[in-house]
A and B are shown apart, each in its own frame.
Chain A
Amino acid sequence: MKLKYKAVVIGGSAGSFSVVSKILSKIDPKFPLPIILCLHRLKHVRSGLVEGINLKSNLSVVEPNDKEKIVAGKVYLAPSNYHLFIEFDGSFSLSTEEPLNHSRPSIDHTLSSSSYFFREKMIGVLLTGANKDGAKGMKDIADKKGITLVQDPDTCDVDTMPKMALRMMTPTKVLSPDGIIDYLNQLA
């Protein structure tokens, strides 16, 4: 079977840890696509996130190395204090260049670079958060005709991030965390 999509890329900030944990605990263990996570972290808490997310996840979660190839069925988390990009050849690349939207990793960087590589063959997801990071990236995915899912602001701990995105673009769907899980699982 040829899959219609090649990757799911999820951005989240304040409040997103529990949403991501929930998604990964309910995701089909045979989910066929790579899932790429770009989550903001508190400056002083740089380690432990990958362990925390792994606890309940049905899929194994790793922090990728620079130039690592993307493998289906794995979950990748942007490492602390690096930007995570998809290179033109479809591998990961990392960078320590200046923060974007006060963030490193920046969700915009990960989403935008994904949209250049995967074009219409990706699903971008933006979750709860407290700044405007991710809005531009979601717009880039929508412009390239990819699928865009924004967490319903009414279900967010902090709704600034989804609201900023909704101001810039019209997503394919606005969904609750359960809605996002159902949407992803029907792809499996």
Chain B
Amino acid sequence: MDEGKAFREYLNELKKHTPYDFSEYSDSSINRRLQKILKDYDISMDQLHERTKSDQEFVEKVVEEITVNTTELFRDPDIWTSLYDNIYSSLKNKKTINIWHAGCSSGMEVYSNLIILNELGLLERTKVFGTDINARMIKQAKSGKFALQFNKIQLDAFKASLKKRPIQGISSIDFDKYFIFNKSEDTLEAKDIIRKVPWFVKHDLVNEEIPFYNRFDLIFCRNVLIYFNSSLQSKIFKLFHDQMFAGGCLLLGNHEGMSGFYKTKFSKSGPVFLKNNSFHFKY
């Protein structure tokens, strides 16, 4: 049996024993992830099937391995200036601002955003939610504790970018206000001023109902949909669309576009997609 087919069969098996459904993840990416699991655990396809049927803890590990957990502080430094120009400037006069980071991984982008919001004087009016399928990542996000050495590079890159392209006059940020830099333990710890603000919830974007009633002004979903096939992407675009205020904004990864029907329901403005306020029959 060819490998791709074997992986499909495994995903069907996984679906039977768990709430997770990866059948609409993109083929090549899911194949790579499963290949990696077989290699890392040094097990055969049959053994993977067996353990999935009997060992719930193992299944959680598989799910954590399938999902990709890359995130950085201030990934794509220029984005934050554009976000101000296209979004935050218009939210300045709103009484409350709701933001959802869908697929937030360990929350580094959530914390980056909280810092920007605080610098702009908007933090007190903002509610921020972060969700991810991976329980381990949500736990880390809640702790606000990250590796120092790796993240120092991103903070320096952002500082340099800010000097060149200030955000509403802000050309430098004192990061000591937001983090404890613990060199001996190589950790970067978010201080309460940002750590206590967001709600982090484990949530599977694909199969679970959205865990909050709130509608959003801004949804971050960066480099998550690249792992989904086009039909699943369309479902998620609908879900975001329905969960946003008119004029609300969706921020995808730097090299992600929108396709399908919902593309017509958003307009691109700089790097963000704004929800159109068009009249829209349900049938």
Contacts and interface: CB of A to CB of B under 8 A. Distances in A.
Contact of A93 (B4, B26, B33): B26
17 contacts: A44-B157, A65-B256, A87-B27, A87-B28, A93-B26, A93-B226, A94-B226, A94-B256, A95-B29, A95-B32, A95-B68, A95-B226, A96-B223, A97-B32, A97-B68, A97-B70, A98-B68
Contacts of B256: 65-66, 94
A56 interface: no
A88 B27 contact: yes
Given A44-B153, A96-B68, A98-B70, A85 B28 contact: yes
A44 B68 CA distance: 23
B157 A93 contact: no
B259 interface: yes
Interface in A145-167: none
Given A63-B255, A66-B255, A96-B70, 10 more contacts: A43-B153, A46-B157, A66-B257, A82-B255, A88-B28, A93-B28, A94-B253, A95-B226, A95-B227, A97-B70
A143 to B, nearest CB: 16
A129 interface: no
Interface residues of A, number: 23
Given A43-B153, A87-B27, A93-B29, A67 B259 contact: yes
A137 interface: no
Contacts of B78: 47
Contacts of B225: 66
Interface of B: 4, 26-29, 32-33, 68, 70, 75, 78, 153, 157, 223, 225-227, 230, 253-257, 259
Contacts of B254: 79
Given A43-B153, A65-B256, A95-B226, A87 B68 contact: no
A85 B68 CA distance: 16
A47 B161 CA distance: 11
A12 B225 CA distance: 28
Report the 6 A-B pairs with minimum CB-CB distance, sorted nearest first.
A96-B70, A66-B226, A65-B257, A97-B68, A65-B255, A96-B223
Nearest to A84: B255
A64 interface: yes
Nearest to A87: B28
A113 B225 CA distance: 20
A43 B149 CA distance: 14
A46 B255 CA distance: 14
Contacts of B4: 88
Contact of B255 (A43, A64, A88): A64
Contacts of A64: 255
Contacts of B28: 85, 87-88, 93, 113
Contacts of A98: 68, 70
B179 to A, nearest CB: 20
